[in-house]
Amino acid sequence: MHWFRAQLCFLAALGASVVCASAQKPPAPNTSPRISTVPTVSAHDQNLTADELSVNARSLYTQGKYADAAAQYQKFISDYGKAPEAQAAVRGMRYPLAMCYVQMRKFAEAKEAIADALATNPPVDQQLRQELIFWKGVCEMNDKEYEAARKTLEEFLTLFPPGSERNPNYAKQFPAIQKVPEARLLIGTCLLLDEKFKEAAEYYAGIKAGLVPVNRGRATVLELYALLEAGAEDKAMELVMAEFPRMGDLLQLVTFQTLTLELGSRYLEKKELRKAIICLQRIWSAGRLLKHQEARLADLESKLQAAEANPLGDPYTKFLYGQMVSKVKREIENFQKIANFDSALRLRLATAYQGMKRYRESALIMEAMLNEMPPDPIVESASVNLVQSWNEIERWPKAISAAQTFVDKFPQSPSVPLVLYLQGTAEQKNLDYHAAIATFDALTKKYPKSDFAPRAQFMKGFSLLLAERNAEAIAAFEEFSKKHPQHEMAESAAHWRGMGYSLDKQFARSREVMDDYLEKYKDGQYRGEAAFRKAYCAQQMEDYQTSIKELYAFMRQHPGHERNSEARVLLGDALMNEGRMDEGIASYAGISKDDVRFYEEGVFKVGKAYKLMEEYDKLRDHMVDFKDGSPRSPRVAEAIYNIGWVDRQAGDADKARDIYWQAITEYGNDPEIRSVDDLFPALSKLYKGPEQSAQYQARLGDLEEEARAASKQTLALRALWAQAAALKKSDPERSRQLLTEAAALAHVQTTNPLLLADIADALVASGKEDEGLKMWRDLVKWNPRAPQKDRAFAALGLMELQRGNEKAALGWFDRFEKETLGSMLYGKILLAKARLEETRDQYAGARKSLEALLANQYSSGPEKAEALYLIGEIYMKEGKPQLAVPYFQRIYVMHGRWRDWVARAYLRSGEAFEKLQDQLSARKTYQELTEKEDFASFQETGKARERLNALGGPLPKEEPTPAQG
Amino acid sequence: MRTLSQWSLVLGHWFLLMADSHAQTPLGLDTLFMASGEKSVGKLAGFDAQIYRLQKSLSPLPGAPAGAAPIFATVTIPRVNVVHIEFGPDEDRDKKLKEATPAQLTEIEALWKQFEPWLPIAKSPAGDIGVVYGDLLLRSGDPANAQKALALFARIEKESWDETDTVLAKQGRLRAMVATGSAKEAVVEATALAKISEDPTVLIEANYILAEAADKDLRKLLEENPRWEEDIYVIPERHRLYNEALDLYLNPYLFFGSEIEPAARGLWGAAGIYQFTGETAHAAEVSRDLVTIYPGTTYAALAQKFLDGLPPEFKNQDNEKEAREENSDSPKPNEK
């Protein structure tokens, strides 16, 4: 705050400037008949008479030639001061002499002259005494006698009777009273200059209320400065908050705001971040501050002009306006010199949020800086930070966009490579691998010498791997190794190059590269991974002996490696392939249960081995162990199936069934063990023939009753569902009834969506459409990954369509198309969607749906025939028969099995030719249909015959038909 | 080229009657400054493309009793002869405008109708009146009135002679856009307007409406998709709405932080999002902002209540405190 201190010194000198406007004119000597009005003679004439000196001095003083005036006064006093007859004249000269020094800012001489003036006997008039004491204080201030100055100024204040400030007549007689407010402020300034900051702050706080608004504002600014100097930040903040609502009225608004910025910065440094925010958010932008102050300056200048234009106006008002104009002008000038005010302010605010790990807030502020502020070094550095902040909270699109803006705005910045690197990383995380590859590539090409070039080269290779562009990835890693063999990422590049070969199925080459890696990096971080990959590649090459050897070595040398379970599975497979069954089983058995996926894979591979080895008891025990140990596994049903299989092999069908029933009873009431639902279809297959089926159903009925009695709702629900499934073909009505009954027991949040789907279907089919639709919606709501979503979307879409809610239906059909894969309902739903689009005159959309249907492997033949027919119909509607014909023709060329569609296609094709005025083709087409004996009964055939006759009848036989063509 | 006719004398009497009806606060007279240097004082009664019509009071007829009603005449003055007009002040009207509430809608509407034609005429008060009328229409809360306000503000913006009224009308139009469901479009214009008018009110309001809409959509989406984290088709939309709502709620706090009420309201909105998404630590952080930075607001009280109800692990986790502690642990420059 050195600048402010300089301003304070200026304030001290302010008093001096006051004199220019308001010092009293030198009193006419009251005792000087000798002083005449002779014209002024040369100021430097050494041979002047006393009279001449006196008159001259007064004239020079009036003209504002203070140095010359002072010289004349001083000469008079030196030459005649001791003469008794000159005493009265000398006394009269003391005041103007003092004022000359004040005007000249020669404060030491002024102080002496004031002391002489005040010591005259008889004393000077009261109005002159008042002036002199004021200036005595100012001189002391300038002489750094702050304590003395303060006392003098306090004495000055006592020279005016209470209430006289409001008395215009008094002010006319004693004009020094106009300096009272200035004196009050100067007393505080003395305290400030004396570094008594706490006292100064208290002083200003005390006097503020009694000052006119302009001076109140000045006192406020000084108070804030004092508080900051006193280290009383909290009090300073209170002041800022209290003043904020009327801040616009402060004359020195810019100074106030700059001090507030200083306060905010201090809080920031002390990590009192919220207090920093309070201060920083109360600071206006530079533009707004300047606009405000410039408007104020214009207003003040206008008022000053008005005051000056009025000859009868109050001179002190003119003086005050003049002072205010110069203050505001100076403030504006100084403020305009501050570079990057806005960006510095915003960056501080962003830093405060970043300090609290509030990356969203800091990023939003810096984003506005980047987008709105003119480029400067602060904006540049903040923008780099911005990209990092967006990355921190994983807002990849924002990070990418900020990086792009940065590069556009600061193309010459040394941070461009870093920003591009961050952009590429964000693109990669955003799964836009191709963009990431392009960005990393651009970085390496444009900034090959940057520290980020090698990193970008590496990341380019890695992104290529993620994009499954393995060959290019290998090339990128090879380029890295060639260009940057000593770089810290060279080891990673060497490893990932080998991975690239493995992923590219070049297993032998991958092994060679991994060997190179292992040779080169004896303490490398990827040694375990490389060893595993080598064994994996050997296994892929069916070199089991090598893979067995290497996998054993891997497990021995890297016991805690994350690939351990996977290695055991691979090793087990290799050993089994080599017929080393027991070792293979031991390898699988060594997989940790914590690694669920590989553990279960190992369990069932062991089971398979026992089966192959015909060790059924071991198989049974192994599966029972798994069932008991992992009841919630989705593969429990598979384990029970294996147990039952062993019993059936042993000819004990009852025992096989019992194991299912036992598992159902044991786990059937736990909705989270969904594999229970898989047991029923398998169990039902163990009941063969009508009699056993009846037994199965009866037992399910019993199970349901028992479950209800025991309040086991989930088990009861499952029993009902299983009964319904068993009756689906033989008694669909009863099946539906059971499922509708089951609806009351279903809990949408926990029940297996497989059951929910069947229940929903049954509800709709039973006329309980609303309940059914609700269940479908709940199914989708609570099971976003359910394989039954296709059924749900289809049912919901078709139901909405049936109810005439076309928009809602289209919404469900869109979701069906977007969110389901490999559904057998695909053709049906796409047809429904296309028909709906067609009725809404959305022909392009309808055609797109139908083309998708035609390209889908799950669409049936009739659905494809219908789709072709519909596309043809749409073109006909659009008046494009030439485009319709090929679609109709594709039906009878490619889908001849679906005769109803074939008949329609022939007829419409003929009609299309007629529209095209191609009567020959039309006749041929009609004729072809009429000649097909097995189509004779079709209505379309009759119509074709009519049209054929109308066009002139059948053609001679030798001409080929369009279909044949 | 002044004309005086019998008919205009009749009109003059009518005008007198009308003036009498406002006898409590006589209307101020308007002054027309002519190109010739002359002035013509009266009450402007209308204008068209060529002329102004001015009601002027005539001297009493010879022999008329003292206290007899003055006679008025309408004169027509070619517009080309008029340099500018100084519309007469009307303290009563100004007071009415200043204190108007939606209850005075009809009265202010009548005033607007009266001055509406003068909208493009320099120094006329029509724009001021129109802005107040539009504001009342919006404040009435009636959607039909919001539509009316939209049209009214658009007209003032286009036709008013006064730049201040134009800016106010623009603000009004944007508020009307927000009220009529076009907040998104309003934000674009409001952003530009906030830069020139130093009044971010419209921008803040429009953003708040958009924030609330995103907040509502987010809650609906998650209600319909409680297991959204498992649904790759819902995740992007959830993130979009979540980020949109938070960014918009935080906007006034970050960019107009000294606008205490809207900033605090936005912060509380953000706290609501964090609470809804189960990000209690974030909710606690913004609540601490509210309590510390906007202590006097109703939102601060709500935030304090929320903080009081937190379990200790969240109560004790304060990022600012941690930053301070880290700062005090780190070596100071003179310790290095």
Look at A23-32, A194-203, B12-21, B93-102 and tell me which has the smallest mean pLDDT: B12-21
Residues of A in contact with B319 (CB under 8 A): 355-358
Phi first, then psi: give them for residue B9, nearest 5 degrees.
-65, -40
Q: How many beta carbons lie within 10 A of that of residue B296, not counting itself?
A: 10
- Determine the residue among A277, A279, A371 to mutate to test chain B binding: the one whose Cβ has the most chain B Cβ atoms within 10 Å: A277
B234 touching A (Cβ < 8 Å): yes
- Which of B198, B225, B327 is the closest to A781 by Cβ? B225
Hey, are the CB atoms on A818 and B246 less than 8 Å from each other? no
Look at A499-513, A944-958, B17-31, B228-242 and tell me which has the smallest mean pLDDT: B17-31
* pLDDT grade for B331, boundaries at 50, 70 and 90: low
Residues of A in contact with B320 (CB under 8 A): 271-274, 355-356
pLDDT of residue A44: 57
pLDDT of residue B269: 97
Smallest CA–CA distance, residue A828 to chain B, in Å, is 23
The token pair at A964 is 């044949």
Residues of B in contact with A382 (CB under 8 A): none
A774 touching B (Cβ < 8 Å): no
Smallest CA–CA distance, residue B323 to chain A, in Å, is 6
Residues of A in contact with B243 (CB under 8 A): 395
Smallest CA–CA distance, residue B170 to chain A, in Å, is 20
Q: What whole-number distance in Å separates Cα of residue A681 and Cα of residue A504?
A: 42
pLDDT, averaged across chain B: 83
Residues of A in contact with B273 (CB under 8 A): none
Hey, are the CB atoms on A274 and B288 less than 8 Å from each other? yes
Hey, are the CB atoms on A784 and B228 less than 8 Å from each other? yes
B146 touching A (Cβ < 8 Å): no
pLDDT of residue B28: 65
Residue type, position A787, single letter? P
Phi first, then psi: give them for residue A562, nearest 5 degrees.
-65, -15
Would the CA dihedral through A135, A136, A142, A148 be positive or negative? negative
Q: What whole-number distance in Å separates Cα of residue A283 and Cα of residue A298?
A: 22
> Cα(first)–Cα(last) distance of chain A, in Å?
96
DSSP states along A683-743: HHTTS-HHHHHHHHHHHHHHHHHHHHHTT-HHHHHHHHHHHHHHHTTT-HHHHHHHHHHHH
Hey, are the CB atoms on A356 and B247 less than 8 Å from each other? no
Smallest CA–CA distance, residue B252 to chain A, in Å, is 11
b (16+ CB within 10 A) / e for A888-901: bbbbbeebeebbeb
Q: Are B56 and B72 in contact (CB under 8 A)?
A: yes
pLDDT of residue B332: 54
Asked if pLDDT for residue B65 goes beyond 80, the answer is: no
Residues of B in contact with A271 (CB under 8 A): 320, 323-324, 326-327
Smallest CA–CA distance, residue A358 to chain B, in Å, is 9
Q: Write down the pTM of the prediction.
A: 0.78
Contacts for B177 with CB less than 8 Å, ≥ 6 apart:
B150, B183, B185, B186, B206
What angle do helix axes A490-503 and A452-466 make, rounded to 10 degrees?
A: 20
B147 touching A (Cβ < 8 Å): no
**Residue of chain B with shortest Cα separation from A240:** B258
Tell me chain A's radius of gyration from C-alpha atoms. Answer: 50
pLDDT of residue A17: 42
Q: What whole-number distance in Å separates Cα of residue A478 and Cα of residue A461?
A: 9
- Which of A356, A783, A815 is the closest to B323 by Cβ? A356
Mean pLDDT of B114-137: 91
Q: What whole-number distance in Å separates Cα of residue A710 and Cα of residue A697?
A: 20
pLDDT of residue A179: 87
Asked if pLDDT for residue B13 goes beyond 60, the answer is: no
Q: What whole-number distance in Å separates Cα of residue A257 and Cα of residue A280?
A: 9
Q: How many beta carbons lie within 10 A of that of residue B121, not counting itself?
A: 20
Q: Which helix (H) or strand (E) holds A604?
A: helix A596-612
Asked if pLDDT for residue B283 goes beyond 60, the answer is: yes
Q: Are A256 and A223 in contact (CB under 8 A)?
A: no
Residues of A in contact with B258 (CB under 8 A): 244, 281-282
Residues of A in contact with B327 (CB under 8 A): 270-271
Residues of A in contact with B245 (CB under 8 A): none
Hey, are the CB atoms on A270 and B327 less than 8 Å from each other? yes
Q: What whole-number distance in Å separates Cα of residue A535 and Cα of residue B108?
A: 89
Smallest CA–CA distance, residue B199 to chain A, in Å, is 11
Smallest CA–CA distance, residue A896 to chain B, in Å, is 40
pLDDT of residue A213: 83
Residues of B in contact with A355 (CB under 8 A): 319-320, 323
**Beta partners for B280?**
none
- Which of A270, A278, A818 is the closest to B233 by Cβ? A818
The 10s digit of each residue's pLDDT in A290-307 is 988 898 898 888 778 877
Mean pLDDT of B223-232: 93
- Which of B227, B246, B258 is the closest to A282 by Cβ? B258
B56 in helix, strand or coil? strand
The 10s digit of each residue's pLDDT in B39-51 is 888 888 888 878 8
pLDDT of residue B22: 32
pLDDT of residue B9: 31
pLDDT of residue A963: 52
Phi first, then psi: give them for residue B258, nearest 5 degrees.
-85, -5
Hey, are the CB atoms on A273 and B323 less than 8 Å from each other? yes
Pairing state between β B82-86 and B51-58: unpaired
Burial of A701 (0-12, 13-18, 19+ CB in 10 A): middle
Low-confidence residues of chain A: pLDDT under 70: 1-47, 310-317, 319, 958-965
pLDDT of residue A559: 92
The token pair at B183 is 């907040």
Closest CA to A143 of A13, A27, A234, A18: A13
- Determine the residue among B188, B234, B242, B258 to mutate to test chain A binding: the one whose Cβ has the most chain A Cβ atoms within 10 Å: B258
* pLDDT grade for B266, boundaries at 50, 70 and 90: very high
Question: In the block, which residue shows the tokens 């493009």?
Answer: B120
Residues 313-332 of B with CB under 8 A from A: 319-320, 323-324, 326-327
b (16+ CB within 10 A) / e for A770-780: ebbbbbbbbbb
Residues of B in contact with A270 (CB under 8 A): 324, 327
